Amino acid sequence: MTSLPFTPDDEAIRYLVETLTESGQAVSIFDADDNLRYANKTYQGMFLGNYNGPFTFTGIVRHAHRNGLGVRIDDDDVEAFLARTLPRRRSVPRKSFETDLVDGRWFWIDHTVLPNGWVLSVGADITNLKNNEKSLRQAHEAALKASQTDQLTGLPNRRHILGLLDEALAASEATGTGLCVAVIDIDHFKAINDAHGHEAGDAVLEHFAQFCRARVRAQDRLGRTGGEEFLLLLPEVRLDDAVRIIDRIRDGFPAAVLSHSGLELPCTFSAGATEALPDDDRSSILRRADRALYAAKEEGRNRTRISSEATR
């Protein structure tokens, strides 16, 4: 093995220690018995504060926890944290991980176990990186939500509600807990638009979405499939109960009110409901619901009709 062309002298070691002390990285060295033998300024600020010892790993962790310092412990149980951590401290020669502190900062830790059992830890502040990562994740989540949401009503849009229908059909098939769907259409919607303008039509759609969403169960999903048409997913119910849920919405359905004029716009809706059958897919169940909706309109609107006949 090639030896180094020099041996650090006292001056070099002194400057090295001064550099480590002033470094923004958090540097610590524990001996084989887990006594702290060196800590630079950053590490001291993170874990020690005005601590006077004993400077063991467990003592430092307990002190930091009592005084709002150190790493964030999710369950706030410092003894459980130590029980998880101690067996892993020397389990591998080297490991790297990220950890967040009580004060909100994040550090990337390089943890090295030396051949003599001493432990060297060097932590780099990655708070800005984590904040950027969080911003990117939030932006992604916002973009994903926007792509799945109808802008006017705030409900799932056509693509999203149909995807939820596929998932609900698969869950119903797997568990046998049942699923009903209803296709809902606002009655005489074109006449509302023609008589009062598209702003009135939009107000009716928003009004229906808000009222209906408040009246269905937490596990039910309502989406706008286009125009004045909506799709309601009712998991874990049979057809009679589904009809009761829909009619409960209808029985208390108030008029929409235009915010700028106070004009009341009485409106009703028709619904076609059906229950998932074995081996149903999206097309077959929607076909039955559409047929039931057509029957409700043919019979005079403002009513719910059902279809239980299997159609493929």
The alpha carbon of residue 178 and the mean position of all alpha carbons in its chain are separated, in whole angstroms, by 27
The structure tokens listed for 217 are: 């169960």
Cβ–Cβ contacts within 10 Å for residue 150, how many?
Answer: 19
Confirm if 236 and 178 have CB atoms less than 8 A apart.
yes
Give the C-alpha separation, 141 to 135, whole Å. Answer: 10
Hey, is 118 helix, strand or coil? Answer: coil
CA angle 120, 20, 91 (to 5 degrees): 10
What is the spatial distance between Cα 31 and Cα 46, in angstroms, rounded to a whole number?
20
Q: How deeply is 96 buried, as exposed, middle or buried, from its count of CB atoms within 10 A (0-12, 13-18, 19+)?
A: exposed
Given a contact cutoff of 8 angstroms between Cβ atoms, the answer to whether 269 and 253 are in contact is yes
* Beta strands per DSSP E along 53-211: 94-100, 106-113, 119-125, 179-186
SS (H, E, C) 2-25: CCCCCCCCHHHHHHHHHHHHHCCC
What amino acid positions are annotated as catalytic residues?
A: 228
E-only strand ranges, 31-82: 36-39
State the pairing for strand pair 269-275/304-307.
parallel
